[in-house]
Amino acid sequence: MRVITIGSGKGGVGRSVFTANLGVVMANKGKSTLIIDGSVTSPSQALFFNLEKVSKTLNGALEGKFPYKEAVYEGPGGVNVLPAAVTLDKIRGAKVSRIVDLVQNHVEGYDYVLIDASNGLRKETIASFKAGEELLVLTIPEMTAVSDSMKTKVSSGFLGLDPIGVVINKIKGEDHELPSEEVERIMNIPVLCEIPFDENVRKSINQGQLLVNWKPDSPAAEKISEFADYLIDEE
């Protein structure tokens, strides 16, 4: 079982959308996959998978109210999703530090576990880092974002995460954007995937769909599928 924490230095780079789509693609390719929304103070996975109204979430599992499996829901392609609660009262009371014990001592039986970590270096971010085994950094090709991602990589290293590489998202091909070679030089880890800016991403969210199912032949969806193949080939 590979436990991959997907982190980003700043918000707005598309980390949660990428995690959701990658999880669905992995499931579509026959890999049992669990997505955990580790961003409990700004959860997104429940929205992407239409789980906003479910009564059992990660928050309750972390409080010990029920086994975590009771808060796991099946999504498109058979992907499993452990969403965080979206109501303010449950967000405030989340026991985020307990995610480490949950992942390391209770989650089992999956080929892949993808943890959607919050941006920055908040308490919940550190908990997601500690819970994972590998770190995948997602950034956009701008200096401020890459600089923040570098901090994420360094901090995760102190917590024992193995940084496997970088995914560069929302590439428009504009002059001010950093080329992949420069991102690799700054981060000192390989760029594993380059995802172009794709207007279909926003449209799919507005449609209540995930891009890889709604328009699997769109440029961004094809790149995510290629990256899933890369992870599988690593096995």
Task: Judge residue 181's burial from the number of C-beta atoms within 10 Å of its C-beta, 0-12 exposed, 13-18 middle, 19 or more buried.
Answer: exposed
> Distance (Å, rounded) from C-alpha 222 to C-alpha 215?
9
**Per-residue confidence in pLDDT tens, the chain, 235 aa:** 999 999 998 888 999 999 999 999 999 999 999 999 998 888 999 999 999 999 999 999 998 899 999 999 999 999 999 999 886 556 566 678 899 999 999 999 999 999 999 887 788 899 999 999 999 999 999 999 999 999 888 888 888 888 999 999 999 999 999 999 999 999 999 999 999 999 999 999 999 999 999 999 999 999 999 999 999 987 7
Distance of alpha carbon 10 from alpha carbon 125, whole angstroms? 12
CA distance 187 to 100: 26
Strand 191-196 with 33-37, pairing: unpaired
d(CA 226, CA 77): 17
Q: Which residues contact 31 (CB under 8 A, 6 or more apart)?
A: 111, 112, 232
Q: Is the dihedral of CA 16, 19, 22, 27 positive or negative?
A: negative
| Residue 98 to residues 85, 87, 167, Cα–Cα distance (Å) | 15, 19, 28
